[in-house]
Amino acid sequence: MSGSLKLVILGLSLSSSWGNGHATTYRALLKALAARGHDVLFLERNATWYAAHRDLTDPDYCRLAFYDDLAGLERWAEEVRGADAVIVGSYVPEGVAVGRWARETAVGPVAFYDIDTPVTLAKLGRGDEEYLAADAIADFDLYFSFTGGPTLDRLERIFGSPAARALYCSADPDIYRPLEAPRRWDLSYLGTYSDDRQPVLERLLIEAARRAPHLKFAVAGPQYPADIAWPANVERLEHVAPADHPAFYAASRFTLNVTRADMVAAGFSPSIRLFEAAACATPIISDVWDGLDTVFGLGQEILTATSTDDVLAALDLPEAERDAIGQGGRRRVLTAHTPTHRAETLERELRAAARRRTAPLMTPDLKTSGTREPMMLDQTTKRRILVAGGAGFLGSHLCDRLLDSGARVLCVDNLLTGSMDNLRQALRRPNFEFIEADIVEPLPARITSRAFDRIYNLACPASPPLYQADPEHTLLTSVLGTKHLLDLAEKTGARFLLSSTSEIYGDPHVHPQPETYWGHVNSTGPRACYDEGKRCAETLTFDFSRAGRGEVRVARIFNTYGPRLSAADGRVVSSVVSQALAGDDITVFGDGSQTRSFCYVDDMIDGLIALMEHDGPEPGPINLGNPAEMTVNELVEVVLKITGSTSRVKRMDLPVDDPKRRRPDIAKAQTVLGWRPITTLEQGLTATMNWFDGRADGAASIPKPAAEPAAVA
């Protein structure tokens, strides 16, 4: 399944947005799919209610067709058989039979798209199979859910879904955008009446209106009982058409979000109204539920309230703070919650489902194959993983790989040396969350209140210019930061991996360096903040294990390179490559005879995951690196050859304590993990240069690795 996709979607309604959120969701998603070059046929049951309220009959981004009954679907059987994938939506009339027909007719993967997941699961709990049968969930290749978080685990673990993935709704920022309009209301609410929402609406809006008669409020939506005692300063609007939503939000100083009880109980269930209002830059006051902070930043992009007092305090905020929250919400929508983001998720997951049909997921056996297969985690227990330092070079690649495996990833980074640019791919993924925090400080409650299965500690600058810029902070990151993460691992029962370094061997007297070598480190030199910090972090980690407080893994990482390596961080590969591509003089310290061993980033990520997922006894520290050793002069020659650059070499004094030789002994990694690097230097450098030069995505440009270990030509 490559290139443009041919998709068939059987949904509740595309033609009518009256009284349902399905049409709005489908319209935004299908427009984005069309913009990405995909062909979509939408099949809608010709229902009397929606036929009488159609506001879209001939969309220009898909084909819309109607069928009258199950027999009428046979007209479209050839289209379904010829589709790359078929999607059946929730609340489709006779949905159980429609889903069965789709699975029996389709050749490609068939997904269920649940826009009502908490309602669906509540129905199944009562034995109500109105549109989905419980035993059919395992028969769909993929379950797209409006609800993320633990619900995805439940769908896989209890109902047997092969792959449950969050696919939230979204708002088209071209339609939902800030408008200039007079402010009619201080607080508005848009939503159809429901018994379970009304008590919250009473507390957060109606009572606020009673206590603040000088302010103006609005409640828009149908089906509210006539006996509700609305305060005089609450304006009622029976219906606001979707086309008028941006104007409605523009007229509101704040707008209120109230979530259905089933969605609150499930958590991780953002409504379309959240994204619409945020895209319009209208500040939102929301009720509180688990997972809200994975969608918007609390306090910066959205406000929360549990009481009338909370609402009144928010309404009293200065206009500058109000506007900042509104703009923050819109920025979050633009970076993570547009229809394009959802289309990318759907496309990626459908392709993955197609691959699963033809090849079962497997963990690589590099002992025998010598080739890289995707490192997959257990799909039935989708792991909850924290990556500290996840916005850095290695950390961001690790986040991407873990997300590809189906894990839910929380990235924590202080952004002193990491970059949000490194997370551009991850931020588009529904199972990814970023929290800006410094692990030197006690971890905030929004981290410590959660449970994790795995914790990777990659938080610390790794290049001399960066870690020497603030040596105290570097040392404390290794010591206090590791302590804080170990405490979290103990509390939550997570397995912990420390990314240590080859620098703990210092300027070694033993070559190559095995894990049994204690090293030769200058404990008072300018590099000691990093070298000794990592040595102390290892001590803490192994003491934690010896005390029986949890499972630990320690990776001693040797020189690694690849896309996203900063040209300014002072590491030899990034410096040489960027200077050669620019035609600048190439800086070589000393006479260039010092040696290094260069490991490509994909190989390193394979090793880190293999070590973390090693289920045997605690193996002690393990070297991860490429055993092929070369001088800096030889590296420069290879780079000049590949780039065709005419750059000249400029020599400078060797830095204090710079090691003369560095090469890992990886026998332990091969024996314990079955791991060894498989990317050749030329392949890795070419990919890295492509990334630096902006010609291609370096990671995607690597040819299939050879079966032999990397070697210097």
**pLDDT, tens digit (0-9, with 9 covering 90-100), for 303-320:** 999 999 999 999 999 999
pLDDT for 521: 80
Residue 700 zone, left/alpha/beta (φ > 0; ψ -120 to 50; rest): alpha
User: Taken in order 42, 152, 379, 623, is the CA torsion positive or negative?
Assistant: positive
Same domain for 285 and 328, yes or no, is yes
The alpha helices in 171-296, defined as continuous H runs, are 198-201, 207-211, 245-250, 261-266, 272-279
How confident is the model at residue 704, as a pLDDT? 35
372 secondary structure, DSSP code: P
Write the pLDDT tens digit of every residue in 305-362: 999 999 999 999 999 999 999 999 999 999 889 999 999 999 989 988 887 776 433 3
User: Residue 526 burial by CB count (10 A; 0-12/13-18/19+): exposed, middle or buried?
Assistant: middle
The contacts of residue 152 (CB under 8 Å, 6+ apart) are 145, 164, 165, 166, 382, 408
For the domain that residue 523 is a member of, what is the CATH number? 3.40.50.720
Kind of pairing between the strands at 595-597 and 629-631? antiparallel
User: What is the predicted pLDDT for the residue at 510?
Assistant: 81
Catalytic residue from among 131, 143, 224, 530: 530
SS (H, E, C) 22-71: HHHHHHHHHHHHHHCCCEEEEEEECCHHHHCCCCCCCCCCCEEEEECCHH
pLDDT digits (tens, 9 = 90+) for 478-508: 999 999 999 999 999 999 999 998 888 888 7
Higher-pLDDT residue of 432 and 361 is: 432
Q: Are residues 218 and 259 in the same domain?
A: yes
Whether residue 367 has pLDDT greater than 50: no
Tell me the percentage of the chain whose pLDDT exceeds 90: 59
Cβ neighbours for 333, distance < 8 A, ≥ 6 positions apart: 170, 171, 173, 275, 278, 279
Residue 127 C-alpha from the chain's centroid: 34
Q: What is the DSSP letter of 513?
A: B
Q: What does the pLDDT read at residue 648?
A: 85
Domain match, 631 and 660 both? yes
What integer best gives the mean pLDDT of the chain? 87
Q: At which of 104, 137, 166 does a domain end?
A: 166
Q: Are residues 504 and 552 in the same domain?
A: yes
User: Looking at the domain assignment, is residue 178 inside a domain?
Assistant: no
Mark which of 108, 138, 166 sits at the end of a domain.
166
Residues in the chain: 713
Over residues 634-645, the pLDDT tens digits come to 888 888 888 888
238: DSSP letter: S
Written as six digits, the tokens of 62 are 């898909």
**DSSP assignment letter at 194:** -
What is the domain-level CATH number for residue 255?
3.40.50.2000
**What are the structure tokens assigned to 215, written together?**
């302010």
120-134 as b/e: b if 16+ CB within 10 A = bbebbeeeeebbbeb
Which residue blocks in 82-187 are alpha helix, DSSP H? 95-105, 117-125, 150-157
Please indicate whether residue 537 or residue 416 has the higher confidence score (pLDDT).
537
Residues 126 and 237 in one domain: no
DSSP assignments along 621-666, one per residue: EEEES---EEEHHHHHHHHHHHHT--PPEEEEPPPTT--S---B--
| Same-domain pairing of 24 and 97 | yes
Q: Sorting pLDDT into bands at 50, 70 and 90, what band is 609?
A: very high
Token duo for residue 619: 């193996």
Asked if 617 and 548 sit in the same domain, the reply is: yes
What are the angstrom distances between the C-alpha of 331 and each of 99, 179, 230? 38, 16, 35
412 and 328 co-located in one domain: no
Measured in whole angstroms, the distance separating CA 101 from the mean position of its chain's CA atoms is: 34
Q: What residue has token string 């240069």? A: 689
Mean pLDDT computed over 198-209: 98
Residues 411 and 315 occupy one common structural domain: no
DSSP string over 566-585: -TTS--HHHHHHHHHHHTPP
Which residues constitute the domain of residue 98?
Answer: 6-166
Which residue, 305, 336, 367, sits at the end of a domain? 336
Alpha carbon distances (Å) from 550 to 484, 489, 634: 14, 7, 44
Eight-class DSSP state of 520? B
The two tokens of residue 323 are: 């506007």
Closest Cα partner for 150 from 455, 489, 453, 490? 453
Is 151 found in the same domain as 205?
no
Do both 323 and 398 map to the same domain? no
Domain count, the chain: 3
Position 250 in a domain: yes
Give this prediction's pTM: 0.55
Whether the pLDDT of residue 21 is over 90: the answer is no
The tokens describing 295, both together, are: 């969608």
How many Å separate Cα 182 from the centre of its chain?
Answer: 38
Nearest partner of 98 among 181, 222, 10, 188, judged by Cα: 10
Residue 389 domain-assigned?
yes
Residues 6+ positions from 34 with CB-CB distance below 8 Å: 40, 61, 62
User: Which parts of 118-251 are beta strand (E)?
Assistant: 142-145, 164-166, 185-190, 217-220, 234-237
**Co-location of 497 and 562 in the same domain:** yes
Phi and psi, residue 428, nearest 5° = -85, -5
User: Which residues face 187 on adjacent strands?
Assistant: 217, 254
The rounded distance, in Å, linking the Cα atoms of 567 and 230 is 62
Instruction: Find out whether 630 and 595 touch, Cβ atoms under 8 Å.
Output: yes
Query: Is residue 189 among the annotated active site residues?
Result: no
Q: Which residues of 92-111 are buried (b: 16+ CB within 10 A; e: fewer)?
A: beebeebbbbbbebbebbbb
pLDDT tens-digit series, residues 516-568 = 888 888 788 887 888 889 999 999 999 999 998 999 999 999 989 889 987 66
Q: Name the more confident of 466 and 36.
A: 36
Answer yes or no: is pLDDT of 616 > 90.
no
